[in-house]
Structure 1
Amino acid sequence: MELNFLDLFQGINTLVQGFSTDPKIAFGRVFLMALGMLLLYLGRKGVLEALLMIPMGLGMATVNAGVMFFSAYDPATGINVVASQTQPLAGTLFIAPLAQDTDALMNILQIDWLQPIYTFMFSNGLIACLVFMGIGALLDVGFVMARPFQSMIIALFGELGTVMVFPLAVAMGLNPGQAAAVATIGGADGPMVLFTSLQLARELFVPITVVAYLYLGLTYGGYPYLIKLMIPEKLRALPMPMEKTRAITSNEKLVFAVVACVLLSLLFPVASPLLLSLFLGVVIRESNLPNFHELLSNTMLYGATFFLGLMLGVLCEAGTILNPVVLKLLVLGILALLISGIGGILGGYAMYYWSGKKYNPVIGIAAVSCVPTCAKVAQKSVGPGVIVLPHALGVSISGVITSAIFAATLIAFLLPMMQRG
């Protein structure tokens, strides 16, 4: 019996054979391993969001390295097939996201170690709800209540990417459901993108979600350059006007959260799981329940975000990411976030002129909700001694609400048409 030296090291063997049988996938694996390590490094350096990018980067690098041969089991579909002797099946022991057959899924749950998390938390949107609960527990809705008009107007400008990319995606050949799902990346609300793609584009759920979170992580490094490009230094150094605002009590915030949750669920029931999750976190924060607040804002939020990043990383297999339609998603996703960023800054300018040139337009970038990342970007982009964070947080929280409204409207409008068609 002869044993090829490479048979001992299957990850290398699958890569070597891949260069002769499918060079695109082989080069893709090498690129994604390098990209994963780069994301990890940028997360470690604080250039990108560390909590998301460190597990995502390591998972991306590892899943493309740990490819092995299977003799009869196809890890992509979970189906037993007769493998060719000359071209054995290749796969990993992480996740099989495309499995549909119930018997195959039960086999996968016993084999792939992250499959239970994917099946019972990721592919049904539960992990997005857990993240929203944690975010809600950190949100102070008093920032919105103090300036509801200004915050919501600017937040609407931040949805420009969603509005403009939807028809563009249809023109590029995506069906309306797929176009709507990728367009919601413009709202910069990861859980909302995950939820929308589950409803409208299940066949592209994995790549759309991966692209969305990958780009959301990049906003922290990219938006400061957009701000410098569109807003001159003189305006970035503009101090905010003194305002007479009264202290908003916890009871008032509690009432706001309850009314907003019920009213928005009444109007947009398709988004009610995420709305309930968000406002439940707010209610816990304002109800003086320290143990529950600690659970949601720390344990649940950081745990769910960590596993979300890890899941996204291991979903970045070369075979999935190199699907030709993913190139369209990459282009459309970055366009959606770019246009939304431009729209948010235009909203900041609108408020600047409306206020008699007293409002710092940098606050507009926070309209691309991505709580609290874009609010932090706004604060870091202004001149020394200028405080815009309270206003930016109000805009950012409003952006969460407007992104939910836009996503729910698209789902409510398109889902019945897709089911009839």
Structure 2
Amino acid sequence: MNIIDFIVSNFNEFLSFTGFANATVGNIIMIVVGIFFIWLAIKKDFEPLLLVPIGLGIVLGNIPFRADAGLEIGLYEDNSVLNIFYQGVRQGWYPPLVFLGIGAMTDFSALISNPKLILIGAAAQFGIFGAYMIALALGFEPNQAAGIAIIGGADGPTAIFLSSKLSPNLMGAIAVCAYSYMALVPVIQPPLMRLLTTKKERLIRMQPARRVSQLERIMFPIIGLLLTTFIVPSGLPLLGMLFFGNLLKESGKTTRLAKTAGSALNDVVVVLLGLTVGCSTQASEFLTMNTVFIFLLGAFAFIIASSTGILFVKFMNIFLPRHKKINPLIGNAGVSAVPMCARISNNMGLEYDRHNFLLMHAMGPNVAGVIGSAVAAGALLGFFS
């Protein structure tokens, strides 16, 4: 072989390794989807902390290469860097660490001062079980239906945790769907809130919450941990870390640990979680009819969960005295997208009465939704295990 043939042969071999030679239509579609997620995050400010890592992960996971080259660079290739990072998703390490951060950042005072608000968070979980029944009707296996239904809780880490245990083959679609609807909370919920409430109900002013003592704030995570985990021990990884993080915050003696859990550690985990979840959406695995059904079911579950929370507040108001009525605009916060849903409740209240601040009231059902979705996930995991 002369030198020209050698160069041509090597050049052709090089070309066979490039993305241009290995790209499929599916790869191009998913790369466009990833760029669209990044656009939504940056241009529309839709949860950039979530959508930027996920969007770039979708692009990264769909860069085409020769699967038989033995390069060990793909997410699903043993010993690759991405595969090592992905173990945190697959083995369920990241979600409990996210819950630790949520607990360390969250103030449960609104819920402690008005315990009946936990009923709103519980009512909003109806979307999970409604979507579960429909998923079964569509032909999904019971464990797959459970993984899909948890999207109704609007809690990405919970959806990842449960699907990694019950339906790992659908985890990428479930995770992207859950985070997508979390990011679209400002688009989906306001029309529902206007549709299901009257102008008179939107103008309801709630009584200021009572002051919660430090002892109550310290006792809450301990009592909450015991009550929830005795009911659903299978929810221990999520509930245990949530209440642990909150105890670090409220004890007054571990402020440094609480700040680390709620900031630096949480940020690192969210980056790895978002990136690897995005990378898991390889076109060959993601572009299927099951993914379409998952997104439709996720939308249904989320709409039902939001609507049920609002309608349950209206039901509660039938039995409450006039001076203790609850503004139904906080019912949407029963889903566990913290604090996005609470902010939407507040913004809607100010839209109709610029002196009606609902943020702290809405935080009650919002944090109750976090607990409720973790309990629901634990119940489903325990049942199907």
Structures share fold, TM-score greater than 0.5: yes
SS in structure 2 opposite 1:68?
coil
Match of 1:375 in 2: 342
Identify if the C-alpha distance between structure 1 residues 9 and 363 changes in structure 2 by more than 3 Å, giving closer, same or farther: same
> Of the candidates 292, 309, 317, which is equivalent to residue 344 of structure 1?
309
Q: Deviations over 1:110-158 (max 9, x none)?
A: xx22221111x21111110110011001111111111111x12211221
Match of 1:173 in 2: 139
SS in structure 2 opposite 1:273?
helix
Mapped pair 1:220 → 2:186: yes
Distance in 2 between the 1:74 and 1:171 partners? 42
Match of 1:276 in 2: 240
Letter in 2 for 1:242: Q
Match of 1:82 in 2: none
Q: Give the superposition deviation at 1:190.
A: 1.8
SS in structure 1 opposite 2:66?
strand
SS in structure 2 opposite 1:208?
helix
Mapped pair 1:406 → 2:376: yes
Q: Deviations over 1:297-336 (max 9, x none)?
A: 1111222112211112211211111133222212211111
Distance in 1 between the 2:199 and 2:56 partners? 38
Mapped pair 1:184 → 2:150: yes
Does the CA-based 8 Å contact 1:48-1:221 persist in structure 2?
no
Match of 2:120 in 1: 154
Alignment of 1:64-213 (within 5 A): 64=62, 66-73=63-70, 93-96=73-76, 108-109=78-79, 112-119=80-87, 121-149=88-116, 151-213=117-179
Distance in 2 between the 1:55 and 1:286 partners? 31
Q: Give the superposition deviation at 1:9.
A: 7.8
Distance in 2 between the 1:278 and 1:163 partners? 23
Distance in 2 between the 1:6 and 1:378 partners? 56
The answer to which of 361-370 and 195-204 deviates more is 195-204
The answer to which of 205-214 and 384-393 deviates more is 205-214
Q: Deviations over 1:355-375 (max 9, x none)?
A: 456422110000011111111
Distance in 1 between the 2:375 and 2:336 partners? 13
Does the CA-based 8 Å contact 2:89-2:164 persist in structure 1?
no
Q: Deviations over 1:338-365 (max 9, x none)?
A: 1111112212322344445642211000
Gap runs ≥5 in structure 2: none
> Of the candidates 283, 300, 305, which is equivalent to residue 265 of structure 2?
300
Mapped pair 1:53 → 2:51: yes
> Of the candidates 286, 295, 303, which is equivalent to residue 321 of structure 1?
286
Distance in 1 between the 2:327 and 2:69 partners? 62
Does the CA-based 8 Å contact 2:338-2:366 persist in structure 1?
yes
Match of 1:38 in 2: 36
Does the CA-based 8 Å contact 1:49-1:220 persist in structure 2?
no
Distance in 2 between the 1:67 and 1:364 partners? 45
Letter in 2 for 1:341: S
Letter in 2 for 1:167: M
Does the CA-based 8 Å contact 2:91-2:164 persist in structure 1?
yes
Identify if the C-alpha distance between structure 1 residues 34 and 206 changes in structure 2 by more than 3 Å, giving closer, same or farther: closer
Q: Deviations over 1:71-100 (max 9, x none)?
A: 45497xxxxxxxxxxxxxxxxx2411xx7x
Q: Give the superposition deviation at 1:398.
A: 0.8
The alignment's C-alpha RMSD in Å is 2.2
Q: Give the superposition deviation at 1:234.
A: 4.9
Letter in 2 for 1:30: I
Mapped pair 1:262 → 2:270: no
Match of 1:89 in 2: none
Does the CA-based 8 Å contact 1:139-1:282 persist in structure 2?
yes
Distance in 2 between the 1:69 and 1:205 partners? 24
Gap runs ≥5 in structure 1: 19-25, 76-92, 100-107, 416-421
Identify if the C-alpha distance between structure 1 residues 142 and 379 changes in structure 2 by more than 3 Å, giving closer, same or farther: same
Does the CA-based 8 Å contact 1:257-1:282 persist in structure 2?
yes
> Of the candidates 348, 364, 375, which is equivalent to residue 394 of structure 1?
364
Does the CA-based 8 Å contact 1:160-1:340 persist in structure 2?
yes
Distance in 1 between the 2:110 and 2:136 partners? 37
Does the CA-based 8 Å contact 1:367-1:396 persist in structure 2?
yes
Mapped pair 1:361 → 2:328: yes
Letter in 1 for 2:373: S
Distance in 2 between the 1:39 and 1:225 partners? 22
Relative contact order, higher structure (CA 8 A, sep 6+): 2
Q: Give the superposition deviation at 1:6.
A: 8.9
SS in structure 2 opposite 1:114?
helix
Aligned residue pairs, count: 371
Does the CA-based 8 Å contact 1:47-1:221 persist in structure 2?
no
Q: Deviations over 1:244-263 (max 9, x none)?
A: x4321222111111111122
Distance in 2 between the 1:201 and 1:164 partners? 18
Distance in 1 between the 2:227 and 2:356 partners? 36
Match of 1:86 in 2: none
TM-score, normalization by structure 1: 0.82
Q: Deviations over 1:40-99 (max 9, x none)?
A: 1221235411100111112212332x2112445497xxxxxxxxxxxxxxxxx2411xx7
